[in-house]
Structure 1
């Protein structure tokens, strides 16, 4: 049966892959992101497979715009059945060297923006008889990595928020809340990240294909679960972080410098933290995934 699905963060990476996947199975789509130009591209892709699509330029940090987004979806399609939230930005740098305005905007987008969306989505789903809210977390909501303090703080906060919402929502089993937590993913978010570190970032191999994470999002809609982890090394990293914290802290810095940075120098810049870059929007970031990424990891470690 066709559902009405709102996707926030629909123009790049996991969000774009999820929009395409929902479209392919015939759902009605309401797509939201900051860039009208990039939204037009995704709308064309989804309409090409026969989906009914609306686009609503939206900044998730603006509660009034998120409310307008929900109003539009209900006005056009009667109700919202699914809300998939994937919008996120990233910044590289030592904590004391990231400008305060950049750090706070990452938190504002990745944590407070997710809270804005969750508040609006849950209000609508409860008013219309139920549905599913899927939020996108990260393995960095369970572990830490140097040079990514704002993103890590946001994802830890998001994990805590989702668990709390799940606890508070036990009296409404018709409203399902799911968290999809990927590890390293081949998306453009690394190229688009703010950088005040001096070295460009990349997804530590082996990176997961964004379409695999999108499938996990759709699977949560069909078979809701508290949290789904996507990534070959997620469990190992979480185990090391929890069971051997001292060893983890010794190793994570050198590993991050070896496999989480490219070695390419970059001047300080704010990436897409404050404004979108439509030309950089895509499903993949071009980093490679799966076996290719694992081979790259082994080569990097050997060369070190």
Structure 2
């Protein structure tokens, strides 16, 4: 149900499934005026219908964020349709899984183009609007991969580490504009259809670890930033643990992840190699959740993850003190 406060004017890229779709629905429940953008029209229309059903005003646009001119046009159209833009949620994210040398270089390049350059295109299009109206919140969906390197997903790691640096640079440039905010969101594993869309060159069927988050959990954190912006929001793990792990033990955490991936690929069900939906939108309509989450295992996995993070930080601190 819409509240009595002024409706937010929101643009979401990557809005056709997963976190983007869940965030669109949550904004719509607050009566937001939305422009939803993604590559797949069928999924966009489905999510737009869900948003209208709960009170949102919605426009949809089919777009590939790697096309800078198309993103600039999207921003101009959104500004005209909504009368301004209060929030831009840059949410596009794709991935390819496989040892670096086994993945076609074109797939690596597409991951970087979508996950990094696509977000840069979003920011380049909307920042002049924010500056002209002297307010606005740009929300970057990054992921825990922006702090913890991910073997078997080297291009993904490069894009997410790059995106974190990009956000920090933008905040520096905008430091004299206190009403313009750049917010980063770092969720852990999330149960979205993205795992079905990912390119895969492991020979194994992709799966999620226990304790994966519901997209709605991340969406709640994103919507909160519209009213209470902050630089860094971690979902599923403490932000300080992520930062300390990256500072104190970056190679250790990557090595541990590599061992896990080696073991997983040896034991997983056989799968099919291919580029998934990396270059083209999914052929069928997507949904918000991926359907792999086991809520009963969430609490135990969260406790184990927190313990692992503490252990990594402690080990890193000990190693750092010995240097």
Aligned equivalents of 1:49 and 1:262: distance in 2? 43
Partner of 1:110: 115
Distance 2:150 2:164 in 1: 16
TM-score w.r.t. length of structure 2? 0.86
Q: Is residue 168 from structure 1 mapped to residue 173 from structure 2 by the alignment?
A: yes
Q: What CA deviation, in whole Å up to 9, does each residue of 1:40-86 have, x standing for no partner?
A: 10111111112111001111011111112112212222111111111
Partner of residue 234 from structure 2, selected from 225, 229, 238: 229
Match of 1:191 among 183, 196, 201: 196
The equivalent of 1:302 in structure 2 is: none
Q: In structure 2, what is the equivalent of residue 147 of structure 1?
A: 152
Bigger proportion of residues as strand: 1
Q: How many pairs does the alignment contain?
A: 299
Is residue 2:96 matched to residue 1:91? Answer: yes
Distance 1:261 1:187 in 2: 24
Residues 211-230 of structure 1 mapped to structure 2, 5 A cutoff: 211-230=216-235
Give 1:3 deviation, angstroms.
1.6
Q: Which residue of 2 aligns with 1:56?
A: 61
Tell me whether 284-293 or 78-87 shows the greater mean CA deviation: 284-293
Q: Where in structure 1 are there 5+ consecutive unaligned residues?
A: 299-304
SS at match of 2:276: coil
* Number of the residue aligned with 1:282: 287
Q: Which residue of 2 aligns with 1:177?
A: 182
Is 2:107 aligned against 1:119? no
TM-score by length of 1: 0.91
249 and 91 in structure 1: CA distance in 2 versus 1, 3 angstrom threshold = closer
Match of 1:266 in 2: 271
Residue 72 (structure 2) aligns with: 67
Q: Please, which moves more after superposition, 118-127 or 233-242?
A: 233-242
Query: d(CA) in 2 for partners of 1:87 and 1:236?
Result: 25
Does structure 2 retain, via aligned residues, the 8 Å contact 1:208–1:289? Answer: no
* Aligned-residue RMSD, C-alpha: 2.3
In structure 2, relative to structure 1, the CA distance for the partners of 1:253 and 1:164 (3 Å cut) is same
Superposition map of 1:31-46 within 5 A: 31-46=36-51
Unaligned runs of 5+ in 2: 1-5, 304-323
